[in-house]
Amino acid sequence: MMSTELGELTQTVNKSFLNLTLDLRYDDPGDPNRFFFRSDHYNYARKGIPIIFFFDGVHEDYHQLGDQQTRSIMKRCKR
């Protein structure tokens, strides 16, 4: 399901230009957290559309079950 060609291209470009340390553990289909499968990217990948899944881990702003809508932009969206 995950694109190995796009993964290889990402690694090559990174090594050539950015040289960032990429942690690939979340790309593992066996990741117990299943972040990839819960991402917006998943539905594209399962249809064969190559994607790159960058995830910076769980942090203060990561979605949780008890999230409250405190940073909403709805006021700006209303006409």
Per the listing, tokens 């990217």 go with 41
DSSP the chain: ---HHHHHHHHHHIIIII------GGG-TT-TT-HHHHSTHHHHHTTT---------S-TTS--TT----S--HHHH--
Please report the pLDDT score of residue 21 as a whole number: 92
65: Cα separation from own chain's centroid: 19
pTM, full prediction: 0.59
Identify the segments of the chain with pLDDT beneath 50: 1
pLDDT tens-digit profile of 46-58?
Answer: 888 888 888 877 7
